[in-house]
Amino acid sequence: MPTNGLHQVLKIQFGLVNDTGRYLTAESFGFKVNASAPSLKRKQLWVLEPDPGQGHAVLLRSSHLGRYLSAEEDGRVACAAERPGRDCRFLVLPQPDGRWALQSEPHGRFFGGTEDRLSCFATAVSPAELWTVHLAIHPQAHLRSVSRRRYAHLCPQEGEIAADSDTPWGVDALVTLVFQNRQYGLRACDGRYLRSDGRLVGEPEARARYTLEFKAGKLAFKDCDGRYLAPVGPAGTLRAGRNTRPGKDELFDLEESPPQVVLLAANRRYVSVRQGVNVSANQDEELDHETFLMEIDCETKKCTFYSSTGGYWTLVTHGGIQATATQVSANTMFEVEWRGRRVALKANNGRYVCMKKNGQLAAISDFVVRVRGAPMLPQAQAAAWTEQAVPSGQDEEFVLKLINRPILVLRGLDGFVCHRRGSNQLDTNRSVYDVFHLSFSDGAYQIRGRGGGFWHTGSHGSVCSDGERAEDFLFEFRERGRLAIRARSGKYLRGGASGLLRADADAPAGVALWEY
């Protein structure tokens, strides 16, 4: 595994949903547990941990309380244990329909019930003792084979997903987990689903849905025949093998998928490292050498750009920009100014990055030069921005394009964005999510929802998803893993108490930031 911080294994958090559709909840008062919550929020988050002892037992820790679920011999359950004891050990017994039965290892009884009548005293499994696992992580990630130490990516020519890549570079490495009917589908970046025989299909049919299993912090995907996905053959093609029990070959890590971007300079050429260490705007196509991994520092909100050749952009002598740094430092950090459809980058020397006549980038400008007649769009300005593209010619401005989210899932502070039933409006507080399609045009994005309708802003800032014509939205990557979306009015999209998505926020913060 790389140790430079670029590859972060996701901490697997999930909710447990009982037979009546309610979530297992850990309460602060008395450390009691119930199954009364209709949606997945902070109190409903759990983490599965391997038991430090021998055997196959696991521990269930509440993310909210930081304490462990326990079951006593008389069936009483609580979430009070600060350290895991004997009564905290459970066996996870996956069922054919994808649900789990949780059995107390020391006492042999099963955990279940409804509302505040939960116990671990059943001697056999009934519907009341079955739990659906609902992942709480953002569902778009990179998938890494534990045994091969390679990343899965789409191979369009072969029509398959293969685990044979050293790095998760480019759009092909994005995998979206789609939750449906208590199971998960693996959706490639082109929208197709992985079937257990290795083929890619357009719909999440029965053989393209999997039951999730956890083993030592890793994931395994079991198909409808009880076999597990694994990389097979020299190419590492993902398909269900012969094994009916998960070994190392059947285990995967889910890793964070940071934004990967390309930048187009004023000369209409892509910024690249193809011709050496100098970062230059001199290419006509966007391939690996023109793709950069963009990460935002949690404290300073400045960003780094990491190249496919293994180096960070860094400020060097006389203001030059080269992709040679192996570690993050002050000189690899750039402040991003969001200027409508364009961005400007300020380096550690306090100067803006510009394109020189030979295409090379250098941080030598004291301000952003604009061509005559170009509208001014300062960073803090909240006024409406024009649909007309800003004229080219500004050497300090770049078009920044997100390339590894052709399909988009958004999650806010209160939940996921999802179509409201029987309406053209969008909810922002749902436990389930819809997958939206993203397209790009000259610094702006168009978002397409269910049925092919486009997102558009309506009266009072409401956002609807049934537009016949595309409306442009601006994406601003403000924090690590979170973006702000700006509408035509200059306002930002936000969630709220009503659960409706609206374009009426003045600042890109709080409920106006979206995990993507």
Task: Output the tens digit of pLDDT for each of the chain's 516 residues.
Answer: 333 455 666 677 899 999 999 999 999 999 999 999 988 888 999 998 888 776 788 899 999 999 999 999 999 999 999 999 999 999 999 887 778 999 999 999 999 999 999 999 999 999 999 999 888 888 999 999 999 999 999 998 888 999 999 999 989 999 999 988 778 999 999 999 999 999 999 999 999 999 888 877 789 999 999 999 999 999 999 999 888 888 999 999 999 899 999 999 999 999 999 988 999 999 999 999 999 999 999 999 999 999 999 999 999 999 999 999 999 999 999 999 999 999 999 999 999 999 999 999 999 999 997 643 343 333 333 333 333 333 333 689 999 999 999 999 999 988 899 999 888 899 998 878 899 999 999 999 999 998 889 999 987 889 999 999 999 999 999 999 999 999 999 999 999 777 899 999 999 999 999 999
At 127, is the secondary structure helix, strand, or coil? helix
Q: What are the b/e assignments for 1-36, b being 16+ CB within 10 Å?
A: eeeeebbeebebbbbbbbbeebbbbbbeeebebbbe
At 35, is the secondary structure helix, strand, or coil? strand
Distance, in Å, from the CA atom of 188 to the CA atom of 171, rounded to the nearest integer, reads 9
Q: State the pLDDT at residue 377.
A: 39
Task: Identify the CATH number of the domain in which residue 462 sits.
Answer: 2.80.10.50
Q: State the pLDDT at residue 372.
A: 37
Do both 356 and 428 map to the same domain?
no
Domain boundary among 238, 256, 274: 256
Helix/strand/coil percent split, the chain, to 5: 10, 45, 45
If phi over 0 gives left and psi between -120 and 50 gives alpha, with beta otherwise, what is residue 275? alpha
Do both 53 and 38 map to the same domain?
yes
Q: State the pLDDT at residue 391.
A: 38
At 305, is the secondary structure helix, strand, or coil? strand
Distance, in Å, from the CA atom of 434 to the CA atom of 408, rounded to the nearest integer, reads 9
Do both 209 and 250 map to the same domain?
yes
Can you say whether the dihedral through the CA atoms of 188, 434, 139, 335 is positive or negative?
Answer: positive
What letter does residue 191 receive in the DSSP assignment? S
The tokens for 35 are 């199954």
Do both 178 and 306 map to the same domain?
no
Q: State the pLDDT at residue 7.
A: 63
> Is 324 part of any domain?
yes
Q: What are residue 186's phi and psi, to 5 degrees?
A: -105, 110
Q: State the pLDDT at residue 371.
A: 46
Q: State the pLDDT at residue 421.
A: 86
Do both 224 and 269 map to the same domain?
no
- The beta-carbon contacts of 428-432 under 8 Å, at least 24 apart in sequence, are 428/494, 428/495, 428/496, 428/499, 428/500, 428/501, 429/39, 429/495, 429/499, 430/39, 430/499, 431/15, 431/23, 431/39, 431/40, 431/134, 432/179
Closest CA to 312 of 298, 296, 328: 328
Do both 81 and 127 map to the same domain?
yes
- Which domain covers residue 468, as residue numbers? 405-515
Domain boundary among 135, 157, 180: 135
Q: State the pLDDT at residue 389.
A: 37
Instruction: Report whether 133 contacts 125 (CB < 8 A).
Output: no
Domain boundary among 256, 279, 305: 256
Q: What is the pTM of this model?
A: 0.83
> Is 422 part of any domain?
yes
Do both 113 and 184 map to the same domain?
no
Q: State the pLDDT at residue 218.
A: 86
Q: How many domains does the structure of the chain reveal?
A: 4
The tokens for 293 are 């991994």
Q: State the pLDDT at residue 390.
A: 36
